[in-house]
Structure 1
Amino acid sequence: MFIVVRLNLNVLKAQFLILSRVCVCVCVCVCVCVCVCVCVCVCVCVCVLHRHLPPPHLLTPHCSSSSFLDGADNTLLPGISAPWQQNPNRPGENKAVSSSHSYTIDLLYGGIYCFMCQDYVYDKDMEQIAKEEQRKAWKMQGIGEKYSTWEPTKRELELLRHNPKRRRITSNCTIGLRGLINLGNTCFMNCIVQALTHTPLLRDFFLSDRHKCEMQSNSCLVCEMSQLFQEFYSGHRSPHIPFRLLHLVWTHARHLAGYEQQDAHEFLIAALDVLHRHCKDDNGKKANNPNHCNCIIDQIFTGGLQSDVTCQVCHGVSTTIDPFWDISLDLPGSSTPFWPLSPGGDGSALNGESHTSGATTLTDCLRRFTRPEHLGSSAKIKCSGCHSYQESTKQLTMKKLPIVACFHLKRFEHSAKLRRKITTYVSFPLELDMTPFMASSKESRMNGQYQQTVDPFNNDNKYSLFAVVNHQGTLESGHYTTFIRQHKDQWFKCDDAIITKATIKDVLDSEGYLLFYHKQFLEYE
């Protein structure tokens, strides 16, 4: 009895083990089948999508590729956060590390944004497509056709009379104010763009569609500035992405290429130079000679600086006149000799001893800029009257003033032994009279004493401040911002994409690096 029961239990155990193993095998087979089915479905979907999707360089671009400055055929340019490495095949060439990132496209402005790099990238094909579509849209709207003044038809006059939705520009209107995205240490470019876009005559020129480009390529900086003015005064409030402008600046000014911190003054001169070369004067001639040019850049920014070299023996004067776009002024605290306004009892002003105190205003800096300078015995110049090398004095004055005067306060000092930023405060006025510094002005200097005679009713040389560029930080690491003036003397601070309202006190209390003044009265020929 007991033996039979024991045998039956052993049989049941054996059957249970066999059944459990069979179940495990069945489960494994089912899982394998499911995985195979999933893989097959995924492969089918990938094949279908691959057949219907656009080319890879338009769908899944790589944020990093070779620099466009090297003329490579790669599609995208690196963003500010893309890692860089040295190209072993071409020493000295920067090349980005290749990686596949996700991105999105701004359908309104055409900008491409990389989520991984958190930056905007530039794509040649997308830019070409956007340009073609833009030309079609402009053609439909009549933009780019031959300029002519608008004369309303009878129908348009009737509509204007009965239009109930008229809008007026009020004191609260801020048209023309728009932030600029920082593309990686590009605040030096953004601050100059803000100053240029708020230059009244330059604004009127570009918004009137006066520029007619005949360049075959898309490398005209004047065309890009024209488009930039359209963007600024279109009424849009979202920050603008100046990637196309940065690309053209890098193309035409190779020394500014890269994402390192650059000098705003250096960018201003480079931008004016490229715009000058791409412009044509009123007679349709290329602007190749800065001394005889009538392009819009020279009409607004070019002045004439007169240099008089006087022989100390025969008192003969040699005069030269050179064009200028800006006036660079030395500051107290620099290693450059800084003469006092009144002569010292020991004659130090004539002996060449430097002084670092006294000048606290823009007018003081201009006085020193236009004072006679004794060249010394080590810098003798051959006199045309004496026919020999003699000691002489040199004096700079303004022969012709530009419509827009830009004053550069030399805060960055570079020398073989010293590199530093000069933080000396220099006060500057809202209104500036340049008459005392003109070559034709009635002024006398006796024993170093500065005297002047100014006609209070002469408004030909009076200027008004409309933009101030400031630099915060050190020489190695800093940031640029701009104060700009709108209508009715409203001031705003432009800090890349952020624009805030400012007071006149905020402007005048700022350190000041580049000061932009506009003539109050214009003469038309």
Structure 2
Amino acid sequence: MDISLDLDAGYNSSLGIANPKLHVRNGERSSGGMNSKVSTLMRCLERFTRAERLDADQKFFCERCKERQESLKQMSIRRLPLVSCFHIKRFEHSSVKKMSRKVDHCLQFPFSLDMAPYLSSSILRSRFGNRIFPSEASDPDSVSEFSSEFEIFAVITHSGKLEAGHYVTYLRLNNHWYKCDDAWVTRVEERTVRSSQAYMLFYVQKTLYYKACERGTAV
């Protein structure tokens, strides 16, 4: 699964993005102070799955009442894979200022991630209770055979400008982190990874990660 995520509105932006309030989930903590330039992966996922009201010219036509009705659009994850990849959109564009820029702000991300809140089944239950819909009962793809618990195993960072730069990969093997920078591979501390400017995040099913650790092999 490969998902592109917009950085949430939790940072000061030269293009006019506001700050949020304090938010805590999955071990992440961020402050919404006026000088905060910290986003979190959880808020990015919440923004990705947030319901959006469609504009007047995008109303759906109702076959029952034979007229267009106001509608909501909402993204969700139908079925979880073994590996999840999150691509962080570290760029923003302004049609008013006619400029583009790279977003260098910090992104907090958990090493252990629970994807349950972003599943289609969870969102339907939160909205309609425990009712079972015909499409959900008859569709085997709507029920994931995997756990919602994931563990991080790789982080790709980008340094430089929007037009060019340098990529570095941090790889987690047997609960140790290694920095892969071109031909050089060095061991680094966990805090180095947490403070890195994440561009892509790779998570694997937690059970699969720990099985690989027991065998002493890479995920």
Partners of 2:101 and 2:2 in 1: CA distance: 22
Aligned length: 171
Q: Structure 1: state its 5+ residue gaps.
A: 1-324, 343-356, 446-458
Aligned residue for 1:389? 68
Partners of 1:411 and 1:476 in 2: CA distance: 12
Matching residue within 494, 498, 501 for 2:187:
501
CA-to-aligned-CA distance 1:55-101 (integer Å, 9 cap, x gap): xxxxxxxxxxxxxxxxxxxxxxxxxxxxxxxxxxxxxxxxxxxxxxx
Structure number with greater CO (CA < 8 Å, separation at least 6) is 2
Aligned residue for 2:54? 375
Q: In structure 2, do the counterparts of structure 1 residues 468 and 521 end up closer, same or farther at CA, with 3 Å as the change threshold? A: same
Matching residue within 131, 154, 170 for 1:467:
154
CA-to-aligned-CA distance 1:84-132 (integer Å, 9 cap, x gap): xxxxxxxxxxxxxxxxxxxxxxxxxxxxxxxxxxxxxxxxxxxxxxxxx
Shift in Å, 1:398: 1.1
Q: How does 1:100-499 map to 2 (within 5 A)?
A: 325-331=1-7, 332=9, 333=13, 360-414=39-93, 417-441=98-122, 444=126, 460-487=147-174, 489-499=175-185
Structure 2 contact 38–105 (Cα < 8 Å) conserved: no
Shift in Å, 1:372: 1.0
Shift in Å, 1:425: 1.3
The residue matched to 1:444 in structure 2 has which SS? helix
Shift in Å, 1:482: 0.6
TM-score, structure 2 length as denominator?
A: 0.68
Matching residue within 181, 185, 202 for 1:516:
202
Q: In structure 2, do the counterparts of structure 1 residues 358 and 509 end up closer, same or farther at CA, with 3 Å as the change threshold? A: closer
| Identical positions, percent | 46
Structure 2 contact 37–105 (Cα < 8 Å) conserved: no
Partners of 1:461 and 1:358 in 2: CA distance: 29
Q: Structure 2: state its 5+ residue gaps.
A: 23-35, 128-145, 209-219
Structure 1 contact 434–461 (Cα < 8 Å) conserved: yes
The residue matched to 1:399 in structure 2 has which SS? coil
Partners of 1:407 and 1:510 in 2: CA distance: 15
Shift in Å, 1:439: 1.3
- Structure of greater Rg: 1
The residue matched to 2:75 in structure 1 has which SS? strand
Structure 2 contact 41–107 (Cα < 8 Å) conserved: yes
Structure 1 contact 397–439 (Cα < 8 Å) conserved: yes
Partners of 1:376 and 1:407 in 2: CA distance: 28
Structure 1 contact 341–358 (Cα < 8 Å) conserved: no
**Higher share in helix:** 1
The residue matched to 2:198 in structure 1 has which SS? coil
Structure 1 contact 334–413 (Cα < 8 Å) conserved: no
CA-to-aligned-CA distance 1:131-158 (integer Å, 9 cap, x gap): xxxxxxxxxxxxxxxxxxxxxxxxxxxx
Structure 2 contact 112–151 (Cα < 8 Å) conserved: yes
Which stretch of structure 1 is more off in the superposition, 463-472 or 367-376? Answer: 367-376
The residue matched to 2:107 in structure 1 has which SS? coil
Partners of 1:480 and 1:388 in 2: CA distance: 52
Shift in Å, 1:335: 6.3
Q: Which amino acid aligns with 1:479?
A: H
Partners of 1:425 and 1:465 in 2: CA distance: 17
CA-atom RMSD in angstroms: 3.0
Shift in Å, 1:500: 1.2
Shift in Å, 1:385: 3.6
Shift in Å, 1:493: 0.6
Partners of 2:56 and 2:37 in 1: CA distance: 27
**Higher share in strand:** 2
CA-to-aligned-CA distance 1:397-448 (integer Å, 9 cap, x gap): 1110111100111102356622210112110011000011111127636xxx
